[in-house]
Amino acid sequence: MSDLYCVFGNPIAHSRSPAIHAAFAAATGEDMHYEARQAPIEGFAAAVAEFVAGGGMGANVTVPFKEEACRLSDRLSGRAARAGAVNTLVFGAGEIFGDNTDGAGLLRDITANLGFPLAGRRILLLGAGGAARGVIAPLLAGEPAALHIANRSADKALRLAELFSDIAPVAAGSFAELAGKSFDLVINATSASLSGESLPLPGGLYAPGALAYDMMYGKGETPFLQLARRQGAAHCADGLGMLVEQAAEAFFVWRGRRPQTAPLLAELRRQISP
């Protein structure tokens, strides 16, 4: 029988993870089966227990269970502890190990796929929820010149900046306070695109050659990227590459093998292009 993996979420029907991991397994010759499992909102722990009892060896975790998966883990990787969230579980030896590959996936997409090194760059991170928190330590590890967090609720941005101030100084504030500042990389980690909303960002944010990166993706350009293009961002990228790279990193955690991502990313890009 193939080794069993899954992704937990709610909703989960439209997840691309089963197709991504099936492609990785086929490309590497790993004998594994990966399926989507919808856990009840109040029943995540029970769903995990049932999956483990049925022989499950590992799982991805997506919205809205990443923080609960962190609490459920017996042991955490350093990056999951920092993120306060888990997107990759490993079941074995009677314990649940929790890891988080989101930040590594973002970094790999930006630096390797898009060829945009972070060292010495000024980075603006928009949002102060779970998605933003998960990528701060990996971004700081890239040794940017500065990291600034801006959020609709400025107090949440300030609290988040404080949480990571032992690694490096992090500035924080409201969207309005961004007026007059400019950045080389602007990352959207808010969920505003989900509801088709744009962010109230002042003009002049994008330095020459800057990259606008939306952690969301969809058919067509997201509202954030449409605004970035109008505001003069030299380069725009959505989160499809991050999705594939966080999956590749999870695959590596489970199987010790790193699948190639470029062919799959090109295929997914073709599928979602309008």
Q: Pull the structure tokens for residue 81.
A: 């502890």
DSSP 123: E
Does 197 help bind ligand ATR (rule: CB under 6 A)? Answer: yes
Q: Which of 19, 72, 199, 234 binds ligand ATR (CB under 6 A)?
A: 199
Query: Per 3-state DSSP, what percentage of the chain is helix, strand, and coil (rounded to 5)?
Result: 40, 25, 35
Least distance (Å) from ligand ATR to the CB of residue 189?
Answer: 6
Of 30 and 64, which CB lies nearer to ligand ATR in the complex structure?
64
In the complex, which residue's CB is closest to ligand ATR? 129
Binders of ligand ATR: how many residues, by CB under 6 A?
A: 15
d(CA 226, CA 236): 9
Task: Considering the candidates 66, 156, 181, 219, report the single residue annotated as catalytic.
Answer: 66
Q: Mark residues 119-158: x for contact with ligand ATR by CB under 6 A, - for none.
A: --------xxxxxx------------------xxx--x--
Of the listed pieces 101-109, 140-148, 187-195, 243-251, which binds ligand ATR according to CB under 6 A? 187-195
Q: In the annotation, is 181 catalytic?
A: no
d(CA 160, CA 157): 5
Of 25 and 139, which CB lies nearer to ligand ATR in the complex structure?
139
d(CA 110, CA 128): 20
Least distance (Å) from ligand ATR to the CB of residue 173?
Answer: 12
Of 25 and 137, which CB lies nearer to ligand ATR in the complex structure?
137
DSSP string, 159-218: HHHHHTTTTS--EEE-SGGGTT--EEEEEE-SSGGGGT----PPTT-EEEEEEEEES---
Contact 12, 38 (CB under 8 A): yes
Contact 200, 222 (CB under 8 A): no
Q: Which of 10, 113, 182, 191 binds ligand ATR (CB under 6 A)?
A: 191
Give the largest CA-CA distance in the chain: 60
Q: Which helix (H) or strand (E) holds 268?
A: helix 262-272
Residues 6+ away with beta carbon under 8 Å from 98 = 69, 70, 72, 73, 75, 76, 77, 80, 86, 88, 89
* Neighbour-count burial of 74, counting CB atoms closer than 10 A to its CB (0-12 exposed, 13-18 middle, 19+ buried): exposed
Does 188 help bind ligand ATR (rule: CB under 6 A)? Answer: no
Least distance (Å) from ligand ATR to the CB of residue 127?
Answer: 4
Does 192 help bind ligand ATR (rule: CB under 6 A)? Answer: yes
Least distance (Å) from ligand ATR to the CB of residue 208?
Answer: 27
Of 56 and 103, which CB lies nearer to ligand ATR in the complex structure?
103
Does 190 help bind ligand ATR (rule: CB under 6 A)? Answer: yes
> Which residues are tagged catalytic?
66
The residues that touch ligand ATR, with contacts defined as CB under 6 A, are 127-132, 151-153, 156, 190-192, 197, 199
